[in-house]
């Protein structure tokens, strides 16, 4: 069996730079879409944009991995429009699993894991999404933008399981995390989830933080309305 070539320090640094570039573009894409669509869809479209325009990789294996990921993403989009999220997930699962198996340590493999988690969530498989998101956390431990988004993804996935306490806990991490974006959205989800749990004080506290700390947020008007209602009528 041929000995695998060890990556040089220069190559490792290059891969890190490419991951950071990807992270920045992901953040920009998500911000662009946040006014119009939910977090999960924002991440999906941001990833599609990045994959479609990715021209910075020179490593052949990385190029191959991104080509496969772009193909799987296109297949997902096509199936989603015709058959819906559940069938779209089923259609791309073999292709994405192949990417994860062969290119797991590559930038494309790491991005595939996040994208696959989103497919699973939208396809009604929250347990699968949670497993993928949890694994992806190790890939982005030093990248707050992506880490915060994965934590949000975990929050939405646990909510889909009606585990509101666990879901709220993940949104709390986002709201408290340094370097995370869309913290106002996390606070809004906390307020809503704690309301569902009957924890009125914690719900109102989350809405009040939006009104006080993020007065320009798209959630500010709803938050102010929530805290203006007498507690006995909340």
Q: What is the mean pLDDT of residues 30-49?
A: 48
User: What global pTM score does this model have?
Assistant: 0.75
Rounded Cα distance between 93 and 25, Å, is 25
Burial 144-155 (b: 16+ CB within 10 A, else e): bbbbbbbbbbbb
Residue 52's CB: how many other CB atoms inside 10 A?
11
Place of tokens 């021209």: 55
Residue 65 and residue 99 in contact, taking contact as beta carbons nearer than 8 Å: yes
The yes-or-no verdict on residue 128 having pLDDT over 70 is yes
Structure confidence by residue, pLDDT tens digits, 64-100: 888 898 899 889 989 999 999 999 999 999 999 999 9
Q: What is the CATH number of domain 9-181?
A: 1.25.40.10
**Cα–Cα–Cα angle for 62, 69, 87, rounded to 5 degrees:** 160
What does the domain layout of the chain look like in residue ranges?
9-181, 184-234
Torsion of CA 134, 42, 120, 89, to 10 degrees: -150
Structure confidence by residue, pLDDT tens digits, 205-230: 999 999 999 999 999 999 999 998 75
Burial of 205 (0-12, 13-18, 19+ CB in 10 A): middle
Rounded Cα distance between 110 and 140, Å, is 9
For residue 45, name the pLDDT band (cuts at 50, 70, 90).
Answer: low
Residue 8's CB: how many other CB atoms inside 10 A?
9
Tokens of 72: 């799987």
Mean predicted lDDT score pLDDT of the chain: 79
Sign of the torsion angle spanned by Cα atoms 49, 50, 56, 60: negative
The yes-or-no verdict on residue 157 having pLDDT over 70 is yes
Q: Which residues contact 59 (CB under 8 A, 6 or more apart)?
A: 11, 14, 15
Q: What is the mean pLDDT of residues 24-52?
A: 48
Q: What is the mean pLDDT of residues 150-154?
A: 93
């Amino acid at each position: 069996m041929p000995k695998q070539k060890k990556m040089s320090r220069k190559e490792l640094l290059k891969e890190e730079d490419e991951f950071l570039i990807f992270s920045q573009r992901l953040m920009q894409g998500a911000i662009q879409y946040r006014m119009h669509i939910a977090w999960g869809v924002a991440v999906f479209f941001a990833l599609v944009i990045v994959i479609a325009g990715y021209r910075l990789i020179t490593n052949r294996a990385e190029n191959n991995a991104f080509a496969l990921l772009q193909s799987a993403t296109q297949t997902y989009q096509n199936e989603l429009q015709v058959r819906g999220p559940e069938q779209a997930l089923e259609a791309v699962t073999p292709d994405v699993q192949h990417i994860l198996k062969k290119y797991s340590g590559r930038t494309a493999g790491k991005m595939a894991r996040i994208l696959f988690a989103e497919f699973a969530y939208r396809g009604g498989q929250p347990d699968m999404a949670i497993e993928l998101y949890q694994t992806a956390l190790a890939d982005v431990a030093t990248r707050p933008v992506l880490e915060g988004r994965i934590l949000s993804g975990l929050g939405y996935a646990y909510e889909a399981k009606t585990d509101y306490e666990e879901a709220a806990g993940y949104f709390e991490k986002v709201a408290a995390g340094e370097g995370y974006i869309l913290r106002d959205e996390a606070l809004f989800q906390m307020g809503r989830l704690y309301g569902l749990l009957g924890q009125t004080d914690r719900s109102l506290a989350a809405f009040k933080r939006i009104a006080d700390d993020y007065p320009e947020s798209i959630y500010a008007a709803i938050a102010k309305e929530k805290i203006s209602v007498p507690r006995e009528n909340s």
